[in-house]
Amino acid sequence: MIIQATYLFLDGTRTLMMNRILPSNEALVNFASLCLAITLNILSYTTLMFVACKIELPLAEDKRQNRIVLGLPIAISIFDIVCALFAPNLIFSANDINAFTPFFPRLRPLLPGLELLSGLDDGLRLY
């Protein structure tokens, strides 16, 4: 619940900065966007674990599988940080809107997709 509230707060703040309602500069908007992306990775993992606990998948109890699935959002978050620091044009648009580039939305479904495959693998093992 806390991570969802954090995500909504960051999204709202970033939107207000992008629309020039809150004072900001390009670096601050990009930092808010990066924080939003990392929060989305955490939110994806916590949602997966919540569902795994509710439907009693082995993923919720098995520490090894849990670490493997936790490695996905960590790896993607590190990739986001490295891109933001060394290749910001890969993620952040250079136009006035400070929106994400077309590459970034294509990267986002990677984490939930891999987690879904992991969950399906666990679910199939139950039967």
The per-residue pLDDT for range 30-89, each reduced to its tens digit, is: 888 888 888 988 888 888 888 888 888 777 788 887 888 888 888 888 988 898 888 777
Q: What's the whole-model pTM score?
A: 0.73
- For a pLDDT cut of 70, what percent of the chain falls above it? 72
Q: What share of the chain is helix, strand, coil (3-state, %, to 5)?
A: 80, 0, 20
Of 125, 94, 99, the closest CA to residue 37 belongs to 99
Phi and psi at residue 22, to the nearest 5°:
-100, 140
44 membership: H or E segment, kind and range: helix 26-54
Phi and psi at residue 100, to the nearest 5°:
-75, 155
Task: Quickly state the pLDDT bin for 107 (edges 50, 70, 90).
Answer: low
